[in-house]
């Protein structure tokens, strides 16, 4: 008989989520507004602790889309984006008829390489196309080198849209990820460190920007008794039912970070003596990762595939790293700057089960597959 599936990262409820959801039902705030939405936003603002303003939205993708709109991106513009990421970082560029310009990763954080970033900006400017925004990503929770990226962004006066979808709970030099961008984005999809079943948020440093995001996300209705519109609107606001789940999840966010970091320690320990495997880890004490997913790189594609299949045969989910966007058929024509760091990572890398809800017994099953594979 097959054993229960071990997931890469599955929803993990804390306990109070249902209480807040019931409140929504009891008070009939079953709508994309209400007390849970307001309170969830306040919880996030307090947690991020940088005098930020948070707008709760229907998804991280919606937040990225609105972020680009608020940064003034239009059809024909170019937007710089980390190549190694989930497609949702780049798709909103295409929604707007703009062109993504992809940037390779660097070896230590796997995130946007600052050197390739500057090379790209110079080259695009020399071609008469100054990029309108830069989208760095904190992959698997590992903070990108935001000091270096910010310095370049400021030098060329290009705003940053920070994709912090995977990095709620991470910090860089003591500052929480999700507060580094001119606009920043969080996701609460089912597989993320906390979930609202599906949802996201935009984080800004001004009330005015937040208000604009909320206005656009609720169909851009002008102030009039009838339906009056002077902007194109979107239906992107978060449901008050989902926000109830979010409020409960905020109570356990720190626990989840702690548990994901413990899962990461488990893998670090295991691979300590195995030279052919590299675990993505914090390059220095400047970096504090929520370790949303623990990821490893083996020394060949064949070995990576063999390990993946060994896990699969035991009903344990693992996943190759994000396939870089510049290698995706849908973005085949987009410009790309860098070398083959992200491509090599993709070929040889694997994400391992990292959920905050993994049991002792599940860790033993994982360890057994690893021990058998590496014949310890």
CA–CA separation, 163 vs 202, rounded Å?
10
Residue 246 CB, nearest approach to ligand PLP (Å): 12
Q: Which is nearer to ligand PLP, 200 or 270 (CB)?
A: 200
Residue 337 CB, nearest approach to ligand PLP (Å): 19
Of residues 81, 134, 137, 245, which one binds ligand PLP by CB under 6 A?
137
Residues in Cβ contact with 137 at an 8 Å cutoff, skipping those fewer than 6 apart: 82, 84, 85, 89, 111, 112, 144, 163, 165, 166
Strands 349-352 vs 294-297: parallel, antiparallel or unpaired: antiparallel
Q: Which is nearer to ligand PLP, 61 or 105 (CB)?
A: 61
Residue 85 CB, nearest approach to ligand PLP (Å): 5
Cα-Cα end-to-end distance for the chain = 26
List, in sequence order, the alpha helices (H) in the chain.
17-26, 35-48, 60-70, 91-95, 114-126, 146-155, 207-217, 240-250, 253-271, 301-313, 341-348, 360-373
Residues 163-192 that bind ligand PLP (CB under 6 A): 163, 165-166, 187, 189
List, in sequence order, the alpha helices (H) in 156-239.
207-217
Residue 178 CB, nearest approach to ligand PLP (Å): 12
Bridge partners (DSSP) listed for residue 160: 134
For ligand PLP, which stretch binds (CB under 6 A), given 17-25, 31-39, 81-89, 276-284? 81-89
- Phi then psi for residue 172, to 5 deg, are -130, 120
Residues in Cβ contact with 219 at an 8 Å cutoff, skipping those fewer than 6 apart: 229, 233, 234, 235
Residue 375 CB, nearest approach to ligand PLP (Å): 34
Residue 192 is among the residues annotated as catalytic for this protein: yes
Residue 134 CB, nearest approach to ligand PLP (Å): 15
# binding residues, ligand PLP (CB under 6 A): 14
Decide if residue 86 touches ligand PLP (CB under 6 A). yes
Decide if residue 9 touches ligand PLP (CB under 6 A). no
Residues 46-65 that bind ligand PLP (CB under 6 A): 59-61
Site map for ligand PLP, 264-303, x if CB under 6 A?
----------------------------------------
Residue 229 CB, nearest approach to ligand PLP (Å): 25
Tokens of 5: 């599936």
Decide if residue 131 touches ligand PLP (CB under 6 A). no
CA–CA separation, 276 vs 299, rounded Å?
6
CA–CA separation, 369 vs 338, rounded Å?
36
Q: Which is nearer to ligand PLP, 86 or 172 (CB)?
A: 86
| CA-angle at 116, arms to 291 and 282, nearest 5° | 20
CA–CA separation, 60 vs 287, rounded Å?
23
- Of 128, 139, 170, 136, which Cα lies nearest the Cα of 152? 136
| Cβ-closest position to ligand PLP | 60
Decide if residue 200 touches ligand PLP (CB under 6 A). yes
Identify the helix (H) or strand (E) that includes residue 106.
none
For ligand PLP, which stretch binds (CB under 6 A), given 15-23, 86-94, 148-156, 312-320? 86-94
Catalytic residue among 145, 176, 192, 210: 192
Q: Which is nearer to ligand PLP, 39 or 164 (CB)?
A: 164
Of residues 83, 85, 111, 179, which one binds ligand PLP by CB under 6 A?
85
Residue 200 CB, nearest approach to ligand PLP (Å): 4
Residues in Cβ contact with 70 at an 8 Å cutoff, skipping those fewer than 6 apart: 183, 209, 212, 213, 216
Q: What is the CA radius of gyration of the chain?
A: 21
Decide if residue 88 touches ligand PLP (CB under 6 A). yes
For ligand PLP, which stretch binds (CB under 6 A), given 113-121, 162-170, 244-252, 341-349? 162-170
Bridge partners (DSSP) listed for residue 102: 81, 336
Decide if residue 11 touches ligand PLP (CB under 6 A). no
* Active site amino acids: 192
- Residue ranges that bind ligand PLP, judged by CB under 6 A: 59-61, 85-86, 88-89, 137, 163, 165-166, 187, 189, 200
């Amino acid at each position: 008989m097959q054993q229960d599936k071990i997931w890469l990262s599955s929803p993990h409820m804390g306990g109070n989520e249902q209480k807040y959801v019931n409140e929504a039902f009891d008070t009939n705030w079953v709508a994309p507004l209400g007390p849970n939405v307001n309170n969830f936003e306040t919880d996030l603002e307090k947690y991020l602790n940088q005098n930020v303003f948070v707008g709760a939205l229907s998804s991280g993708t919606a937040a990225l889309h609105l972020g680009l709109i608020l940064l003034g991106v239009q059809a024909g513009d170019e937007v710089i984006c980390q190549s190694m990421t989930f497609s949702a970082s780049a798709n909103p560029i295409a929604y707007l008829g703009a062109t993504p310009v992809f940037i390779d990763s660097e070896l230590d954080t796997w995130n946007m390489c600052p050197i390739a970033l500057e090379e790209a900006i110079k080259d695009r400017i020399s071609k008469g196309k100054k990029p309108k925004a830069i989208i760095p990503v904190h992959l698997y929770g590992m903070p990108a080198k935001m000091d270096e990226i910010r310095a370049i962004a400021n030098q060329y006066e290009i705003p940053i849209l920070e994709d912090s979808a995977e990095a709620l709970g991470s910090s860089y030099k003591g500052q929480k990820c999700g507060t580094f961008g001119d606009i920043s984005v969080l996701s609460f999809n089912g597989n993320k460190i906390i979930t609202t079943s599906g949802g996201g948020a935009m984080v800004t440093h001004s009330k005015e920007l937040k208000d604009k995001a909320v206005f656009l996300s609720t169909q851009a209705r002008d102030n009039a008794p009838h339906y009056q519109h002077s902007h194109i609107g979107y239906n992107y606001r978060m449901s008050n039912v989902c926000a109830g789940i979010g409020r409960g999840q905020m109570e356990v966010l720190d626990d989840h970070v702690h548990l994901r970091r413990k899962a990461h320690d488990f893998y670090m320990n295991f691979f300590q003596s195995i030279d052919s495997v590299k675990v993505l880890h914090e390059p220095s004490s400047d970096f504090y990762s929520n370790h949303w997913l623990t990821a490893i790189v083996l020394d060949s594609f064949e070995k990576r595939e063999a390990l993946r299949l060994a896990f699969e045969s035991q009903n344990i989910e693992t996943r190759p790293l994000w396939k870089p966007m510049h290698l995706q058929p849908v973005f085949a024509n987009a410009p790309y700057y860098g070398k083959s760091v992200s491509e090599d990572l993709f070929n040889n890398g694997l994400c391992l089960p990292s959920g905050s809800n993994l049991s002792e017994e599940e860790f033993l099953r994982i360890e057994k597959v690893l021990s058998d594979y590496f014949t310890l």
